[in-house]
Amino acid sequence: MKPESIRKYRPFPAVSLPDRQWPDRAIESAPIWCSVDLRDGNQALPVPMSIAEKLEMFDLLVGVGFKQIEVGFPSASETEFNFLRRLIEEDRIPEDVTVQVLVQAREHLIRRTFEALDGAKSAIVHLYNSTSPLQRRITFGNASKESIIDIAKKGTTLVTELAAEAEAKGSKITMQYSPESFSDTELDYALEICESVMEIWQPTPERKIILNLPATVEWSTPNVHADQIEWFGRQLKNRDSVIISLHTHNDRGTGVAATELGLMAGADRVEGTLFGNGERTGNLDIVTVSLNMNSHGLETGLDFSDLPTVREVYERTTRMTVPDRSPYGGELVFTAFSGSHQDAIKKGFDRRLEDEREAAGEIVPWGVPYLTIDPRDIGRSYEAIIRINSQSGKGGIAYILDREHGFDLPKTMHPQVGLKIYNLADELGRELTPDEIRDAFFEYFANVSEPMSVVDYELDHSVGERGEVRCRATITLNGEKQNIEGLGNGPINAFVQALDNAGLKQFNLTDYRSHAVRGGSDADSAAYVQLRHNDETIIWGAGVDPSIEMAGLKALVCAWNLLAAKGE
């Protein structure tokens, strides 16, 4: 902003709480969760969900494990009313799930709400009215504090009467009250109005009231929100008869942090939506808070083990999109483009495999650089973790070749392969797919057969007293055939001697590795040969063939060809 614009704003006042306790606390158990996707989330959609879409979303929320679901504002429209009636009349609400309905503290709306709830086994009636100075002055035309309290008291009196009638017919009704705009309401006034509601409802430890303290607008830093929650809980009468509930928004981008600190400050319950859908910058993202707890070893009662399916249903029914960088659910959150990140991730997975083998079935604590959780635990796959573009490094490319195609490249081969392939990505100006990476590996580093190739070869084992191997081979060099022969302590060494005998050896063989290709054809083997030229140039070549011996010869020839090309 320009300086003249900034001068219109004022700091948000702090809470006087010098002996605050929440900074020394930790979240040790999950709160009560309440999804408001079907109400707060739905109201914020450019195109609200149809009844069929709301039914699908309701079933998704039940499947995830929500036991409290705010299903709408049934007094606001026929669609909302009919949706709740359908849930009840078609017996779609599981026995252990409580539906929640929102209603303003107005008589005709409250009565209509209870009509919609007729026959519900368990329901929360969520009564609210605005309480902040800004709302009192602007929305209610300089209304007095007393008049706002009177609205809440009259609404609670009617809810109490109608709840008794509903309970006489077999329904269980829980009262929830929200001083809307709690986040910028005077704390002593918010406490006064909530206790006025409690005096009418008369909660007990066995029949608690829910006091929902919404950050309807996020005005402050998360620590101030935590101070508000702790202050309120410490001053509240009959605290053991109250469930303190949080309902944060994300105007300042810290809705998750405000909720986590609010739980440390003593809150018992959390309202929010999947992926943070909601007014303006959104409601609390329950997916993030729940998985944050999982990442610290806490069970939450919510199951996001198949997060891609949750995301698919959410995006289809809401027509919203989960941003690529959204925690846990975003397309790119388990993707590393940085070469150093890719290398560390690969090393982390490799070490974890070793640790798990050594643990012999015992649980190994999670620990992979740059990954706070195991992507598999939420239905993501390792194949999506590393992507290759011009910013990638040697480790990431080796990771793709290993995990996707089964080629376990020697460590000292990584730089040569990595440099070539990420230069290719740079030339193309785009990301390379795993198949393109494999194809580039074969084009530049495996089974390269020009200018030399092996046409035929024959091995005689256990030759002479020392049991050596004789290699007779037919090769083509620059299109011309020639026969070569050599004797060595193994097939590769014998072939090297054959090249030496033919005057084609200007190198030393300094490394050789081989393995079966994991995940490929059962008959495929891979071999890797490192050659050092007389001028100290070092080159790696790879060979792939059903025969392990032939794979080794192809690797040697490949490395010879790459060395010859480098010398041109």
Give me 46's structure tokens. 């450019």
How far is the CA of 434 from the CAs of 111, 197, 216, 385, 550, in angstroms?
A: 61, 62, 46, 12, 26
527 in Cβ contact with 506 (< 8 Å): no
**Single-letter amino acid code for the residue at 359:** A
Annotated ligand binding at 478? The verdict is no
- Peptide bond before residue 451 is cis, with ω within 30 degrees of 0: yes
| C-beta of residue 99 within 8 angstroms of C-beta of residue 69 | yes
- Contact call for residues 47 and 79 (beta carbons, < 8 A): no
Burial class (CB in 10 A: 0-12, 13-18, 19+), 523: exposed
- Token pair recorded at residue 274: 């999947």
Which of 257, 315, 251 is closest to 281 using CA atoms?
A: 251
Q: Count CA within 13 A, CB hemisphere, residue 455.
A: 12
3-state SS string for 251-300: CCCCHHHHHHHHHHCCCCEEEEEHHHCCCCCCECEHHHHHHHHHCCCCCC
Which residues make beta-bridge pairs with 544? Answer: 526
Q: How far apart are CA 139 and CA 136, in angstroms?
A: 6
Contacts of 444 (CB under 8 A, 6+ apart): 417, 420, 421
Do the annotations mark residue 184 as ligand-binding?
no
Burial 274-293 (b: 16+ CB within 10 A, else e): bbbbbeeebbbbbbbbbbbb
User: Whole-angstrom Cα distance, residue 49 to residue 41?
Assistant: 10
* 249 marked as binding residue: yes
- Say which amino acid occupies 517: V
Q: Which residues are annotated binding-site positions for Mg(2+)?
A: 40, 247, 249, 283
Q: Which residues are annotated binding-site positions?
A: 40, 247, 249, 283
